[in-house]
Structure 1
Amino acid sequence: MSEKSRLDEIREELEKLDISPTIFARKEIHELPDILSKDERIVYLVEGRNKINNHHIILVATDRRLIFVDKEFMYGLKVEDFSYGKISSIQYETALLLASIDIQVTDDVVEIDGVGKYHAELFCEKVRDFMSRPEEYTQHQSEPSVLDQLEQLGRLKESGVLSEEEFNDQKKKIIDKL
C-alpha cells in the first residue's frame, strides 16, 4: 500500500470519528503513515501544545498504544509512544474554552494544553477504556506474528548472527507451532 493511500485511509478514519484536525496539525498527520503499523487503527486524536516547548502536537490513541507526535518546524520529528499498560493515569482540566491533559507514564508526565474541552474529555475516556484492559493489548503486542518472527530470523541470518543450520532449526520451530 502506498503512503498516499495510507494517508487517505487515516483521513477517512478521522472523518468517521468526527475529528477535524486544524491546519496546524497537518505536518503531524502527514507523518502518521510512517508511525502507525499497517493494521493499527486510530481510536481518537487530539491536538494541542506541548507545555514544555510550546510546540503544536498531536496525541493519538490507537487500538494498541498512545502516541505523542511533534513535527518540529526546523528540527525534525519527535515521536513517543506508550503502551496502555504503562500509563498509570490520565486526567484533564478544563478552563473557559480549552483543556489540558496530563498523562502519567511510569516516572514521566506528558502534558499538553490548548485542547478543546469536549475533545479532551472524550480522548481521556477512550484511553481509560484501553487502560482498563491492558492485558489484552500488551499480550497482543508482545507476541509477534509468525511472519514477523520469520522476517526477524531472515534478518539475523543475513547479518551473520545465525548460521544456515540455526536458521533452519528456528524456522522449523516457528512453523511447528502453527
Structure 2
Amino acid sequence: MSERSRLDEIKDQLEKLDINPTFFARKEIRELPEILSAEEKIVYLVEGRNKITTHHIILVATDRRLIFVDKEFMYGLKVEDFSYSKISSIQYETGIMLASIDIQVSDNLVEIDGVGKYEAELFCEKVRDFMSRPEEYFPEISEPTVLDQLEQLGRLKENGVLSEQEFSEQKKVLLEKLNKDKI
C-alpha cells in the first residue's frame, strides 16, 4: 500500500471515530503511516501540548499500543510508544476549557495539556479499557513484533527519517534480538 493511500486510510479511521484534528496536528498525522504497522488500527487520538517542551503533539491509542508523536520542524521527529501492559496509570484533570492527561509508564511520566475536556475523558477511558485486558486473551495488543519493528525501521529509512548508518545500527540490534528469541 502506498504511503498516500495509507494516510487516506488513517484519515478515514479518524473520521469514523469522529476525531477532527486541528491544523496544528497535520505534521504528526502525516507521520502516522511510517509509525503504525500495516494492520494496526487507531482506537482514539488526542492532541495537545507537551508540558515540558510546549510543542504541539498527538497521543494515539491503537489496538496494540499507546504512541506519543512530536514532529517539530527544527527538532525532527520524536516517537515514543508504550505497551498497554506497561502503563500503570492514566488520569486527566479538567480546567475551565481544557484538560491535561498524565500517563505513568514505569519510571516515565508523560504529561500533556491543552486537550479538549471531552476528548481527554474519552481517551483515558479507551486506554483504561486496553490496560485492563489480559495480553494472553488479546495477543494482538501485545508489543509490536521484531518483524513489525523492522518494517517500520525500513519505512523510516526510506522516507529519510533515519540515515543509512542509523538504520544499519538499529537493524543489527533488532536482528540480534530476533536471533536471541529463536534460541
* TM-score, normalising length: structure 2: 0.77
Q: CA–CA distance in 2 between the matches of 1:61 and 1:137?
A: 19
After TM superposition, the structure 1 = structure 2 runs for residues 21-170 of structure 1, keeping only pairs within 5 Å, are: 21-136=21-136, 139-140=139-140, 141=142, 144=145, 148=147
Q: CA–CA distance in 2 between the matches of 1:143 and 1:11?
A: 22
Rate the CA distance shift 1:124–1:8 in 2: closer, same or farther, 3 A: same
Cα displacement (A) at 1:136: 3.9
Aligned length: 152
The percentage of counterpart residues that share the same residue type is: 76
Rate the CA distance shift 1:137–1:12 in 2: closer, same or farther, 3 A: farther
In the alignment, structure 1 segments of 5+ residues that lack a partner are 153-158, 160-169
> Secondary structure of the residue that 1:109 maps to in structure 2?
strand
1:124 counterpart letter in structure 2: C
Q: What CA deviation, in whole Å up to 9, does each residue of 1:40-87 have, x standing for no partner?
A: 000000000000010000000000000000001212100000000000
In the alignment, structure 2 segments of 5+ residues that lack a partner are 152-171, 173-178
Conserved in 2, the CA contact under 8 Å of 1:84 and 1:134? Answer: no
Rate the CA distance shift 1:144–1:107 in 2: closer, same or farther, 3 A: closer
Q: CA–CA distance in 2 between the matches of 1:137 and 1:46?
A: 27
Q: CA–CA distance in 2 between the matches of 1:37 and 1:10?
A: 12
Q: CA–CA distance in 1 between the matches of 2:7 and 2:86?
A: 28
Q: Which residue of 1 aligns with 2:4?
A: 4
Q: What CA deviation, in whole Å up to 9, does each residue of 1:85-143 have, x standing for no partner?
A: 00000000000110000000001100000000000000000000000014247844369
- The list of structure 1 runs, each at least 4 consecutive aligned residues, that deviate by more than 2 angstroms after superposition, is 136-145
1:126 counterpart letter in structure 2: K
Structure with more contact order per residue of length (Cα contacts < 8 Å, sep ≥ 6):
2
1:4 counterpart letter in structure 2: R
1:52 counterpart letter in structure 2: I
